[in-house]
Amino acid sequence: MKIILASNSPRRKELLEKYHIDFTVVPSSFEEKFFSDDPFVTTVSLAIGKAQDVFDKSSKNSVVLGADTVVFFNNKIIGKPHSEQEAVKTLKLLSGNTHKVITGYAIISESGIESGHSESRVTFNRLSDSLIADYVKTGLPMDKAGAYGIQDGFPLVKKVYGSIENVIGLPARKIAAILKKYQRYPT
């Protein structure tokens, strides 16, 4: 079986490589838009859409993984910022607070769709205006849900409850266990 990651996220690619999954990357052209105010419905729906988009263009013996991550705080989904000003606003909102990071995933093969989600909680340090400004100037927050990457080297996060891999963008341990069955037992 050919395993395909339907994402051009370098973080998701690195996480899967860590578990010795043999895969290729084919970015999805599926349009990301929130389907619901429910972060679980939204992330799983987006993951299925991304995976289905790539699966429909792939050979029959393919297994396609799609994923989507959001930050959820104050009963609102926070996706990727559209501007530096929005990134600053988001980081100020999260400063000193605890939020949820939810990643939905979908694995599509000829035998069907296997989907689910993973949830972690993240507590931020109290962030100074200068730290926020310095971080946003790097451009790093612009392609990340919640306008931050825990792996970016800035002292943003005080504590993670749950999977740090999920916070980075993929519950890789859980997904690797599912994908390895396709590597061993072709369908």
Residue 140: how many CB atoms within 10 A of its CB?
Answer: 17
What's CA 16's distance to the chain center, in Å?
12
Angle, vertex CA 11, rays to CA 93 and CA 23, nearest 5: 150
In the annotation, is 22 catalytic? no
* CA–CA gap between residue 111 and residue 1 (Å, rounded): 12
* CA–CA gap between residue 154 and residue 167 (Å, rounded): 15
* CA–CA gap between residue 131 and residue 69 (Å, rounded): 24
Residues written for the chain: 187
CB distance 95 to 73 below 8 Å? no
Instruction: Exactly one of 37, 68, 134, 143 is catalytic; name it.
Output: 68
Q: How far apart are the first and last CA of the chain?
A: 8
Task: Tell me which residues are annotated as active site.
Answer: 68
